[in-house]
Amino acid sequence: MKSTTEVWAEVRLPGFHHWPAAPDHRSYLRARHRHLFHIRASVDVVHDDRDTEFHDLADEIRSWWGTGDRECGPASCETLAWTLADYLLAKGLRVNKVGVSEDGEAGAIVTLLQEGERP
């Protein structure tokens, strides 16, 4: 049997964004608005003794976000997820998935097909 193991960390961080091209029925999204973004990253590990410590992974997510409320401009959850994936890859982590949601209600998950490979 072939298997893989991944570890994950999730943090909740405050930020603002907007969607300038929102359609009329979602025009309220054009204005800058705040969310408590739920950000989750999972990385592949090759052994079961803290190959990647999940507290360290959470710290990396927080470091990428910065302190306080982040100004995300027009970035979507998808864009934020890819940006974090690229950041974690540059740190040498074997990124598997990154998810970003707005207030834990709706969001996006990006999945890397192989280490560092986008679909």
Kindly list the domain boundaries of the chain, sorted by start residue.
5-111
Whether pLDDT at 87 is above 90: yes
Whether pLDDT at 112 is above 80: yes
pLDDT band at 28 (very low <50, low <70, confident <90, very high): very high
> What architecture does CATH give domain 5-111?
2-Layer Sandwich (3.30)
What are the structure tokens assigned to 116, written together? 């560092």
* pLDDT value at residue 3: 80
* pLDDT value at residue 91: 96
pLDDT tens digits, 46-72: 988 889 999 999 999 999 999 999 999
Residues 93 and 116 sit within 8 Å (Cβ to Cβ): no
DSSP 3-state of 8: strand
Cα dihedral value 13, 59, 45, 114, nearest 10: 50
Cα dihedral value 20, 74, 42, 115, nearest 10: 100
pTM here is 0.92
